[in-house]
Amino acid sequence: MSSAPVAHVLVFPHPAQGHMIPLLDHAHQLSARGLSITVLVTPKNLPILDPLLSKSPSIQTLIFPLPSHPTIPPGVENLKDLPPTSSTAAIVRALSELRNPIIHWFRSHPSPPVAIISDFFLGWTDGLARQLGIPRIVFYSSGALAVAVVNDLFAANMRREGTVVSLPDVPGSPALKYLHLPTIYRRSMEFAPASEDWAFVRDCMIANTTSWGAIYNTFAALEHTYLEHASKRAGHVWAVGPLILDGVGPAGRGGTSSLAAGDVMAWLGGCPEGSVVYVSFGSEVLLNQQQTDAIAAGLEASGARFIWTVKIPTSGHVAGDYGTIPGGFEERVAGRGRVIRGWAPQVEILEHPATGAFVTHCGWNSTLEGISAGVVLLAWPMGAEQFVNARLLVEETGLAVRVGEGSDSVPDPVELARVLAESVGGTGSARARAKEMSKAAWDAVKEGGSSFRDLDELVTEISALTPNSEKEITFER
């Protein structure tokens, strides 16, 4: 007796590191539970899949060149490589030109996908999936509160004027400064309809709310209220995070660095437990000189051990638009501090027993990595949805202490030094909450945990789908 055919899923990431890595980790989860996975990728982003393909050799790739766009130079396929004259919207619009190649591939495949799982920037794939007669599941690499805020803003379909924007339909009725609203919303409203690309992004974000289901890289203990809110507004909702705890992991995803990972870990091994502050603002933020000087002064005056990761400017950056480490700083803090220029093994640093605090821009991946490691979070949101994440961390859960706010803000070095010293020198409420939430994160992905159960339910739902089944793609509210 032959066994039932394995359900095939097309996974379509958005080509930005913060979006790709969690969705690839999720693809690994689905493959490990028996689904057949094809990942759509452009040629230059294929190396990012190497850790996934080595751990899940059954996963297939569908490689399409990035279609041309007037503002994207030839050879550019990733958000981080875009010149200042281009934008996220250009990448999204260019990717939409893959609709016909995908349709051709689908219709010629001997066992076509029963579903598409695609990044939330790629809302146009909802219409593609309906055309193919299969469901589209939106993947959110952001937290559930941030998604609730974005969806509520786009539902209004208009720019909300004023210095403070109230969101009465979101649990807790948050009120946010206009400049602290998620960047994708502000740009879409400010640049559309004059910019066809940003008008297209706006339509993509609205289309997400009509998808058959939604996957969140979060967990119930952290965002239960907002996941319940999402489930009332969507067909199916699954919270499967933190994916870093049950995915491919960071191995092989490094980049250029001024300090070898082995040397970093060896140095941490000589530090007392919980004594090190880790400072990193992600892969895209470049600090200005005032900010760089303030952090250096704060670290020096704090007396705390630290690792500070500094982004390396690309050829497109102009000298003077970014800060450099003050002269003599590294000599003065030699022995208790390390500066890493370029990539750093962030997950390993955070999980090391010596690390006790994390100065972060509150990007969602970094947020989940810090929470999972059980370190105190020191929040300095810069843009994107980071102000919303900081609200969740500081005001709502007590997991973080705010040390800065905005890409132009400069913290007082004396106050910063005090907060840094206290973050690794005491047993305050933030530290206790961090340990509690870390346990909850790990419990969520263990067998029987909330994220483990949601993942099993997702696989069961997908396995029951059949290609071109109109019944299966009916969206119910």
Q: Residue 467 phi/psi, 5° resolution?
A: -60, 145
Catalytic residue among 19, 28, 180, 352: 19
Active site residue 236: no
Q: What is the DSSP letter of 88?
A: H
Which helix (H) or strand (E) element contains residue 386?
Answer: helix 386-391
Q: What is the DSSP letter of 257?
A: B
Active site residue 229: no
Tell me whether residue 258 is exposed, middle or buried, using C-beta atoms within 10 angstroms of its C-beta: 0 to 12, 13 to 18, 19 or more: middle
Nearest to 26 by CA among 66, 63, 59, 65: 59
Q: Is the dihedral of CA 447, 449, 453, 454 positive or negative?
A: negative
Nearest to 200 by CA among 103, 277, 87, 281: 87
Q: Which amino acid would we find at residue 208?
A: N
Q: Are 284 and 80 in contact (CB under 8 A)?
A: yes
Beta-strand relationship, 60-63 and 36-41: parallel
Torsion of CA 276, 280, 286, 288, to 10 degrees: -30
Q: Which amino acid would we find at residue 468?
A: N
Catalytic residue among 119, 126, 152, 293: 119
DSSP track, 321-371: SS--PPTTHHHHTTTTEEEEEB---HHHHHHSTTEEEEEE---HHHHHHHH
- Beta-carbon contacts of residue 359 (< 8 Å; ≥ 6 apart): 277, 278, 279, 280, 281, 295, 378, 380, 403, 420
- The angle subtended at Cα 45 by Cα 132 and Cα 363, nearest 5°, is 90
Distance (Å, rounded) from C-alpha 151 to C-alpha 140?
12
Catalytic residue numbers?
19, 119
